[in-house]
């Protein structure tokens, strides 16, 4: 991946520092204060929106979740109103010239001191970066991926439902999965119910052809997963799915699914054909997860939640 463009909004009212990086940046192009509490205390939140064919996809849904996370994490009021943040992100994407990739942005409690409390931070700080990448629909080759049950403890709901920068459990979980030859792991809670992956939601098609996603009350409310739930009734109308729901599902029942997939912005749907060394369904990519992936991909390419980026000619 290469850097497309960076922006940092300081705690000073109305002050925006813009930088455009059209090539791979050298050292020192983007500076984050070491006394920012997001750096040394992990007190901050973030979110990401995809850039596809010169348009931002579901920016509003991601920005709304971003601000909900900020309120839950008590990082203070953003240095700009919501609409100003939205304009900054769109203008930043335009300045970068990036037409395929993502835009990631953070709100921290800000720089101030090295104490535990953020009381000494005068004001929150907003940061963002455009990341260019050859983004494409995953799983179209029909091979699918492997999953394993996470051995790293999952976050409690208070932290799991907030998209915060405290990602050490996620990092250790994905590294453990990679060590075990899997694409990602799946967290299962103390009651045996499926939760989520370290950077994705999970979805299942039951033997009765019902699409099931774990309820969002204890896990992150994935924007792509929610969009899948909104689009999936089209397959019900076509007679391919029998129903769509979010509910608790045990790992034991989930492993008996006909189909399984990881769901996330960067995929958007990646079929899983094996979990803990045992096949999901017949161990091959089925027909329904690719069909759901096609619905999402079409929505990302031409749906109503796209914001055309006003690039300079």
Q: Which structural domains are found in the chain, ordered by start?
A: 37-132 (3.30.470.10), 145-301 (3.20.10.10)
pLDDT band at 25 (very low <50, low <70, confident <90, very high): very low
Q: What is the mean pLDDT of the chain?
A: 91
pLDDT band at 140 (very low <50, low <70, confident <90, very high): confident
Residues carrying an active site annotation:
163
Say what the pTM is. 0.89
123-137 pLDDT per residue, tens? 999 999 999 999 889
Task: State the pLDDT at residue 29.
Answer: 59
Picking from 10-24, 205-219, 225-239, which range would have the lowest pLDDT averaged per residue?
10-24
Percent of residues, the chain, with pLDDT higher than 70: 90
**Is pLDDT above 70 for 108?**
yes
Q: Roughly how many angstroms between the first and final C-alpha of the chain, as a whole number?
A: 24
51-90 pLDDT per residue, tens? 999 999 999 999 999 999 999 999 988 888 999 999 999 9
Q: Which two tokens stand for residue 100?
A: 């395929």
């Amino acid at each position: 991946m290469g850097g497309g463009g960076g922006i940092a909004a300081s705690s000073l009212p109305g002050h925006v520092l813009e930088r455009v990086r059209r090539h791979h940046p050298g050292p020192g192009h983007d500076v984050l204060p070491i006394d920012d509490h997001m750096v040394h205390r992990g007190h901050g939140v973030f979110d990401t929106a995809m850039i596809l064919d010169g348009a931002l996809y579901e920016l509003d849904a991601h920005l709304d979740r971003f601000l909900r996370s900020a309120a839950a994490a008590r990082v203070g009021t953003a240095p700009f109103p919501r609409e100003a943040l939205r304009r900054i992100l769109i203008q930043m994407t335009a300045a970068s010239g990036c037409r395929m990739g993502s835009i990631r942005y953070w709100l921290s409690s800000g720089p101030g001191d090295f104490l535990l409390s953020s009381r000494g931070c005068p004001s929150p700080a907003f940061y963002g970066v455009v990341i260019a990448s050859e983004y494409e629909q995953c799983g179209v080759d029909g091979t699918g991926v492997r999953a394993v049950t996470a051995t790293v403890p999952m976050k409690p709901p208070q932290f799991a439902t907030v998209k915060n920068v405290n990602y050490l459990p996620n990092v250790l979980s994905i590294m453990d999965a990679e060590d075990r030859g899997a694409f990602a792991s799946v967290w299962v809670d103390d009651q045996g119910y499926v939760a989520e992956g370290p950077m994705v939601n999970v979805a299942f098609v039951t033997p009765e052809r019902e699409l099931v996603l774990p309820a969002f009350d204890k896990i992150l409310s994935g924007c792509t997963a929610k969009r899948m739930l909104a689009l999936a009734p089209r397959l019900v109308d076509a007679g391919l799915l029998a129903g769509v729901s979010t509910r608790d599902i045990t790992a034991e029942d989930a492993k008996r699914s006909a189909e399984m997939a990881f769901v996330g912005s960067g995929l958007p749907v990646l079929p899983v054909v094996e979990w803990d060394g045992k096949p999901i369904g017949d161990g091959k990519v089925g027909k329904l997860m690719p069909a759901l992936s096609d619905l999402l991909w079409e929505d990302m390419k031409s749906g109503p939640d796209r914001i055309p980026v006003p690039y300079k000619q």
